[in-house]
Amino acid sequence: MLKTPIITARDVDVYYGQKQALDKINLEIPEHKVTSLIGPSGCGKTTFLRCINRMNDLVGICRVEGDIQISGQDIYAPDVDVVALRAQVGMVFQKPNPFPKSIYENVAYGPKIHGLTSGKTDMDELVEWSLRKAGLWEEVKDRLFETGTGLSGGQQQRLCIARAIAVKPKVILMDEPCSALDPIATAIIEELIDELRKNFTIIIVTHSMQQAARVSQRTAFFHMGNLVESGATKTIFTSPNDERTQNYITGRIG
């Protein structure tokens, strides 16, 4: 299929207790591209996203079967350290959730716990780099030591992105990052996502088909726990193979 998939999922089943949430998902995700996961509510796209950095481990009743590899390594192998995994796979959540600390501390937290910097100037540079990458530097450079929760919603979300990229992960997972934002803030984030894909592989869950069409190169359509169809975004939106995809993107179901 793809030449250089960074993430490969094979026959992934996810159960919450007795209930099966994902059924035999096979998906390859290319490097340095934006892949969007779309589908109606409850279709399992967020569940799949959270399998990739093993956030589902936190849900006691959740069970993952099958095989997910990042750069050829099985992330569910017994010797895998989730802390190391999550340093490689960052995450941006639906609701902006900066720590109730200063902007600087928010960004510096990841590098600090992973020991990525040596010394204060090093850290200062990394914080500036991350905030610049997230397009937030100009807005906050004079108030780095004010609390991050005092920013506007869009700025908070970009702060969360800066926080995620500060540890320089391979992959960034975004779980409906714009659903709590207004259209202007959304446009800024979308531009940012396009910029970030030069350095990172991005997987984004979105409810907005326009957003998927705008930001992503590849799209995967989930429906009731199944991966119905995946491929180049253009193909999915113009000539989908499956009738369900067709119905969803034209707004007949969902």
Partner 1 sequence: MTDTDTSFLKGQKHLVKRHRAETRFQWMGRLAIVMSLSFLIFMVGSIFWQGKSALQTSEIALTVNLSAEVIDPQDIRGASFDKIVKTALREQFSEASKRKEKKKLYGLVSSDAGYELRNQIEENPALLGGTQTLWVSASDDVDIFLKGQIDRNVPQSDRRLDDQQIGWIDTLTETFAIRSVFNTKFFTNGDSREPELAGILSALVGSALSLSVCFLLSFPIGILAAVYLEEFAPKNRWSDIIEININNLAAVPSIVFGLLGLSIFLSTFGLPRSSPLVGGMVLSLMTLPTIIIASRASLRAVPPSIREAALGMGASQVQATFHHVAPLALPGMFTGAIVGMARALGDTAPLLMIGMVAFIVDVPKSLLEPATALPVQIFLWADAPERAFLEKTSAAIIVLLLFLVLMNIAAIILRKKYELRF
The reply to whether 17 sits near partner 1 by the rule CB under 8 A is no
CA separation, residue 244 to residues 44, 62, 136, 248 (Å):
15, 27, 40, 6
**Residues between 73 and 92 with contacts to partner 1, criterion CB under 8 A:** 83-87, 90-91
Could you tell me the smallest distance in angstroms from the CB atom of residue 213 to partner 1? 27
> Which is closer to partner 1, CB of 162 or CB of 228?
162
At residue 58, φ and ψ (nearest 5 deg) are -70, -20
Instruction: Compute the distance between CA of residue 70 and CA of residue 170 in angstroms, rounded to an integer.
Output: 9
> Which is closer to partner 1, CB of 116 or CB of 187?
116
Could you tell me the smallest distance in angstroms from the CB atom of residue 203 to partner 1? 14
At residue 141, φ and ψ (nearest 5 deg) are -65, -25
> Which is closer to partner 1, CB of 98 or CB of 135?
98
The reply to whether 177 sits near partner 1 by the rule CB under 8 A is no
Could you tell me the smallest distance in angstroms from the CB atom of residue 50 to partner 1? 10
Could you tell me the smallest distance in angstroms from the CB atom of residue 98 to partner 1? 7
Residue span binding partner 1 (CB under 8 A) among the ranges 23-31, 110-118, 188-196, 217-225: 110-118
Instruction: Compute the distance between CA of residue 119 and CA of residue 248 in angstroms, rounded to an integer.
Output: 52
**Residues between 191 and 230 with contacts to partner 1, criterion CB under 8 A:** none
Could you tell me the smallest distance in angstroms from the CB atom of residue 113 to partner 1? 6
H-helix or E-strand spanning residue 66: strand 62-70
Instruction: Compute the distance between CA of residue 34 and CA of residue 197 in angstroms, rounded to an integer.
Output: 7
Instruction: Compute the distance between CA of residue 228 and CA of residue 223 in angstroms, rounded to an integer.
Output: 6
Exposure string of 210-242, with b = 16+ CB inside 10 Å and e = fewer, is ebbbbbbbbbbbbbebbbbbbbebeebbeebee
User: Among 26, 149, 179, 247, which residue sits at the site for partner 1 (rule: CB under 8 A)?
Assistant: 149
Half-sphere exposure (Cβ direction) of 12: Cα atoms closer than 13 Å:
31
> Which is closer to partner 1, CB of 85 or CB of 227?
85
The reply to whether 60 sits near partner 1 by the rule CB under 8 A is yes
User: Among 63, 95, 234, 252, which residue sits at the site for partner 1 (rule: CB under 8 A)?
Assistant: 95
H-helix or E-strand spanning residue 35: strand 34-38
> Which is closer to partner 1, CB of 16 or CB of 99?
99
Q: For CA atoms 50, 55, 59, 60, give the dihedral sign.
A: positive
- State the residues that interact with partner 1 by CB under 8 A: 53, 55, 58, 60, 83-87, 90-91, 93, 95, 97-100, 109-110, 113-114, 149, 160, 163-164, 167
